[in-house]
Structure 1
């Protein structure tokens, strides 16, 4: 009896313990008893972490449309020479392909703009060429008739004087044939040329006979040696030769006037270095005034200054002109030159 009482007491105690635990566990205990059919190995799965919400890209802000006035400004261009050079041919072609009144009128108005620019340029060019001494073309060839005549006479006198100086070193060979009508006309011209310049003339007969007009009676006959060596193809032919026989230069083939012979002889003398450049320039009717002579010295400039300073290039060349053409050595044209 005592044992049953003890067992009953233990059962009551256990019942109290389990009851207390059930109430202490709350919903967990109730869920265990309510869901005992799931077995001893049942467990609650851990909840998966919530996915972070994707960051939303900011929506593009709609830009306000450009104003109509700004669009119109970007379309306008300056009608300068570059624009006209590119577009005039197009406007012309359009007018030719479709010659409507409007198309042709458009082309001619565009052409008028170019003509106006050219006219203004020409007007200013006249001022520049007159007031800028190094650019004044009257220094090369005077416009005044009196000065022009004096300039030609002065040049001829210098040519004749230089040839007289050269006459001790050079002379002329005159190749002719007795039946050549041009040779008969050339002979008296050569005599006059010889008198003006002092150059001696040796007449060479290619057929062994004298001229019908008896000009140059002291001629020599060429058996063909000189003709073959100098390749004389026609008559009359004139050679400028060194008296020592070192040089032979053909200066004329056919009938040639004395003044032209003189010019060619001086030109040859300059090319061969028998006279100086200054002497040669004094014989020209149109003076050679070079502000930039690439054969002697290359012109070098600062490309930035050429466009940034409009006076840079002009001043550079003016200084060069003033150093080359001083009053004592200025080119003569009948009038003094003072830079």
Structure 2
């Protein structure tokens, strides 16, 4: 075969170029595959967004902690936790299958009845222990606050009534009563008689005020309403208002009320508004004795005691002891 020198040169150059292209392509294939892998990883995890970074150390730490977590222990049989987990299931099984084919109680029924016996016996044991604690600890025995026995309770109530009478007489030295009425009011006559007896017993001064500018039948002393009812926003008659000079007004009752109700409401106002001295207030609130106050239950000291039952029991004993003083 005859080859021209010029053609041979061109042939050699083409062969060299083809080899170069093949080498370049071989070099690019791994890079393309790597890029493809990276691209697939991103699109497969695109929910992580553009700005993310996985710390391999953090992943290993999470895996290590997961491996170290202990398995939850099963509660011991017949504990409260165990009963909560099993009582309903056992009862439902007994309801669905109460008897066997021969009519005898099923094992599910027997199991439930025994569980019920466990619950009742635990309740009895708890009640016995609670009674023992209460009977041996004067701070927990309610009989030390308010006597339960007939004779002791009768004496307690007599003292309470005497203290109330003294307190109302003390209030009468500092405040009086306004009695608002309407001449057409059916209950106002009856209320006037109650107010008159109450005022005489405890020494209250009374001012009778007519809303319709007319007196009640047989009423000797009265005054027309000069805007007091509007100032106090009264809506009903009869109405009784406790007045403490110079400008303190407390609506005691609206509508027909008994002497006992009037006295109780006056005592309530006198206590909350500090009309009575502290010794009267304390003597007339015996049911507050031995009661934990809000300040005791919201004290900052409790933050340091919450993990130690012995510590917070001691704190409660000290607080209750002070409440009896």
| Shorter-chain TM-score range | 0.5 to 0.7
* Segment of structure 1 superposing worse, 260-269 or 203-212: 203-212
User: Which residue number corresponds to residue 83 of structure 1?
Assistant: 82
From 201, 208, 214, the counterpart of 1:209:
214
From 228, 231, 253, the counterpart of 1:229:
231
User: Could you give the per-residue CA deviations for residues 122-179 of structure 1, whole angstroms, max 9, x where no partner exists?
Assistant: 2222232232111121233211222222222222222222232222321111112233
| Alignment coverage as a number of residue pairs | 244
Q: What 5-or-longer segments of structure 2 have no aligned partner?
A: 1-72, 100-105
User: Which residue number corresponds to residue 242 of structure 2?
Assistant: 240
Measure, in 2, the Cα distance between the counterparts of 1:323 and 1:76: 41
User: Which residue number corresponds to residue 270 of structure 2?
Assistant: 269
The question of whether the paired residues in 2 share the 8 Å contact of 1:130 and 1:136 is answered with yes
Check if 1:196 corresponds to 2:198: no
Structure 2 counterparts to residues 163-174 of structure 1, below 5 A: 163-174=168-179
The question of whether the paired residues in 1 share the 8 Å contact of 2:187 and 2:256 is answered with yes
Measure, in 2, the Cα distance between the counterparts of 1:108 and 1:228: 69
Distance 1:83 1:162, change over 3 A: same
Distance 1:137 1:76, change over 3 A: closer
Measure, in 1, the Cα distance between the counterparts of 2:282 and 2:141: 17
Instruction: Select the structure with the greater relative contact order (CA < 8 A; seq sep ≥ 6).
Output: 1
Measure, in 2, the Cα distance between the counterparts of 1:277 and 1:81: 48
Distance 1:217 1:265, change over 3 A: same
Measure, in 2, the Cα distance between the counterparts of 1:237 and 1:85: 57
User: Which residue number corresponds to residue 176 of structure 1?
Assistant: 181
From 109, 112, 115, the counterpart of 2:117:
112
Once the 2 structures are TM-superposed, how far is the Cα of residue 108 of structure 1 from its aligned partner?
4.1
Once the 2 structures are TM-superposed, how far is the Cα of residue 243 of structure 1 from its aligned partner?
2.6
User: Which residue number corresponds to residue 316 of structure 1?
Assistant: 315
Once the 2 structures are TM-superposed, how far is the Cα of residue 200 of structure 1 from its aligned partner?
1.6
TM-score (ref. length: structure 2)? 0.65
SS at match of 2:287: coil
Check if 1:134 corresponds to 2:132: no
Aligned residues: CA RMSD: 2.9
Distance 1:195 1:145, change over 3 A: farther
User: Which residue number corresponds to residue 153 of structure 2?
Assistant: 148
Distance 1:234 1:124, change over 3 A: same
Measure, in 1, the Cα distance between the counterparts of 2:97 and 2:279: 59
Measure, in 1, the Cα distance between the counterparts of 2:109 and 2:297: 52
Measure, in 2, the Cα distance between the counterparts of 1:278 and 1:134: 23
* Segment of structure 1 superposing worse, 232-241 or 112-121: 112-121
TM-score (ref. length: structure 1)? 0.62
Q: What 5-or-longer segments of structure 1 have no aligned partner?
A: 1-73, 330-339
> Which of the pair has more CA radius of gyration?
1
From 136, 160, 165, the counterpart of 1:160:
165
Distance 1:112 1:279, change over 3 A: farther
Distance 1:294 1:111, change over 3 A: farther
Measure, in 2, the Cα distance between the counterparts of 1:297 and 1:75: 36
